[in-house]
């Protein structure tokens, strides 16, 4: 190893090493988005969590199936769940939900039909900073009030592109000692992250080495074989470090398909199939991958912030 390499390893140890592993270890967090959105999402998510590779997920406090998600969590409280901060309702009046706070408290987060805005664009146009902050904090508190100690906060859809969103996430992450999931995959295209990355690291915020999510895939990936290959190729590409895979899991029932459509429900079913398959488990074992959830990152970030 060169002198500069020794300096780098001394002062900038890898995330696995900071977490108590070796620098040669490859750690992967497979995290399920949207738990609590719909019964067919919640049920399938907890089945995947019980399978073993997926060890954590993110729960949606404003959504209709929130209470069932909490009941299932109580049956396995060691499950690492975070808060999926939610400010849009993409299925609109077909399957509506509202903010946790009432319209008189956060009026800019309600559309004319009395639910959340259905698109990112509508949210960007109407949402006000004070309302966003009040609602996001209320969602965290709603989860905490159940007795669940969240491991992290992340975001639903692309609301992080709102100019006020990421500063609020960072503030709430510190206030509630949560791992703040920041969209590192596109961080250099977001001025706030580009301008504050070094400062955030110095303040104790932790960033994974890579982030992967196949949810945006279009029709060319809609066969299970190609969908599985996309994930398997990603796993094979990983170098030692800490990596995050965001998945969307559900059973493709007629009810969910009628609400979400063929594309969305198919992707969620395929994510379930891939992450509960022996083929994926065997590949991960062959590659020496260790699966964890966000809890160790939460603990590390809290320790770094309190130095």
What's the distance, CA 238 to chain centroid?
Answer: 19
Decide: helix, strand or coil at residue 37: coil
Indicate the SS3 state at residue 153: strand
Beta strand 289-292 with 26-35 is parallel
Tokens read off for 123: 């949210």
- Domain residue limits at 271: 3-305
**CA dist., res. 34 & res. 238, Å (int):** 26
- Structural contact between residues 235 and 287, judged by C-beta atoms closer than 8 angstroms: yes
CA separation for the pair 192, 209 (Å, rounded): 19
For residue 297 the two structure tokens come to 């990152």
Per-residue pLDDT tens digits of the chain, which is 307 residues long? 443 343 334 345 789 999 999 999 999 999 999 999 999 999 999 999 999 899 999 999 999 999 999 999 999 998 999 999 999 999 999 999 999 999 999 999 999 999 999 999 999 999 999 999 999 999 999 999 999 999 999 999 988 888 888 889 999 999 999 998 776 544 445 566 666 777 888 888 888 888 887 665 555 557 899 999 999 999 999 999 999 999 999 999 999 999 999 989 999 999 999 999 999 999 999 999 999 999 999 999 999 998 7
> Got the DSSP string for 226-279?
HHHHHHHHHHHHPPSEEEEEEEE-----HHHHHHHHHHHHHHHHHHHHHHT-HH
Please tell me whether residue 92 adopts helix, strand or coil conformation.
Answer: helix
Rounded CA-CA distance 176/144 in Å is: 10
CB 113, CB 93: distance < 8 Å? yes
Q: Contact at 8 Å (CB) between 54 and 80?
A: no
The SS3 call for residue 296 is: helix
Q: Say if residues 59 and 35 touch (Cβ distance below 8 Å).
A: yes
Q: How far is CA 192 from the centre of its chain?
A: 20
Determine the pLDDT at residue 1: 43
To which residue do tokens 């090493």 refer? 17
158 burial type by CB count under 10 A (0-12 exposed, 13-18 middle, 19+ buried): middle
- What is the pTM for the complete model shown? 0.91
Rounded to 5 degrees, φ, ψ at 30 are -100, 110
Angle between helices 39-51 and 254-275 (to 10 degrees): 10
Q: What angle do CA 182, 215, 32 make, to 5 degrees?
A: 60
Q: Report the domain count for the chain.
A: 1
Residue with tokens 């939610």: 86
Adjacent-strand bridge partners of 243: 28, 210
CATH number of 51's domain: 3.20.20.370
């Amino acid at each position: 190893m060169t002198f500069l390499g020794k300096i780098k390893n001394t002062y900038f140890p890898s995330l696995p090493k900071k977490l108590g592993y070796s620098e040669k270890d490859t750690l992967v967090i497979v995290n399920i988005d949207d738990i609590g959105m719909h019964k067919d999402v919640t049920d399938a998510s907890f089945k995947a969590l019980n399978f073993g590779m997926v060890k954590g997920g993110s729960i949606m406090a404003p959504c209709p199936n929130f209470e069932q998600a909490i009941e299932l969590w109580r049956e396995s409280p060691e499950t690492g769940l975070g808060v999926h901060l939610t400010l849009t309702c993409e299925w609109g009046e077909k399957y509506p939900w509202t903010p946790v706070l009432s319209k008189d408290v956060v009026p800019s987060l309600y559309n004319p039909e009395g639910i959340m805005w259905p698109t990112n664009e509508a949210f960007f146009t109407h949402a006000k900073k004070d309302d966003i902050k009040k609602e996001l904090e209320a969602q965290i508190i709603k989860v905490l009030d159940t007795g669940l100690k969240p491991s992290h906060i992340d975001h639903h859809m692309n609301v992080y592109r709102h100019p006020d969103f990421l500063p609020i996430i960072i503030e709430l992450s510190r206030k509630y000692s949560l791992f703040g999931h920041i969209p590192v995959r596109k961080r250099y295209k977001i001025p706030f992250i580009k301008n504050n990355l070094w400062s955030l690291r110095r303040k104790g915020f932790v960033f994974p080495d890579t982030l992967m999510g196949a949810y945006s895939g279009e029709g060319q990936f809609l066969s299970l074989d190609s969908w599985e290959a996309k994930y398997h190729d990603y796993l094979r590409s990983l170098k030692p470090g800490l990596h995050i895979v965001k998945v969307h899991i559900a059973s493709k029932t007629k009810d969910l398909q009628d609400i979400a459509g063929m594309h969305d429900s198919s992707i969620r079913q395929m994510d379930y199939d891939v992450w509960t398959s022996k083929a994926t488990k065997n590949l991960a074992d062959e590659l020496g991958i260790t699966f964890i959830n966000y809890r160790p990152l939460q603990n590390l970030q809290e320790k770094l912030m309190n130095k």
